[in-house]
A = this chain, B = another copy of it.
């Protein structure tokens, strides 16, 4: 790879041999109501549902979604499908603990209120202005619209559980940070 590793305390410049083939596959978020989340992630954010796994004894289900390349071939056979899903980058896993959807008081924690930890996921889009029009058309709530605050090329929307989702256009990230 023809780039200079930025030397920061702690950074190992050359990935150890033992980590060859490691892939950051997915991020898991718990969701209250899978029908609402699947509508949001498959329609508003354009992800494909690749797999659903049910664990009836433990009363939960897992939904795996991703933005696939147009020419990706997804195996039909269930165990091959699992192997495919766990080999990808950029998968979102939604965990549904059965019954939360019918409890009107039930809420998950977004990680940005106290106590803090996880912050957000980020979707990059080819055209930020067009994406904002699409989100407005779908009444998506914002943490921060692009025109609010200092960072005019970054938006944060909220998913149906209130998790934050950063929206950026790669070509407009050039002057972020220093």
Interface residues of A (CB under 8 A from B): 1-6, 8-12, 15-16, 18-30, 34-39, 42-49, 51-56, 62-63, 66-68, 70, 72-76, 78-93, 95, 108-111, 115-127, 130-131, 134, 161, 163, 166, 168, 170-171, 173-178
Let me know if B42 and A82 touch, CB within 8 A. no
Partner of A117, one of B30, B67, B134: B30
**CB-defined contacts of A43 to chain B, threshold 8 Å:** 12, 15-16
Between A39, A55, A170, the greatest number of chain B beta carbons within 10 A of the residue's beta carbon is seen for A170
A49-B11, A109-B117 in contact; A168/B76 too (CB < 8 A)?
Answer: no
Enumerate 5 A-B pairs (CB-CB under 8 Å) in ascending A order: A2-B76, A12-B39, A15-B43, A30-B119, A108-B116
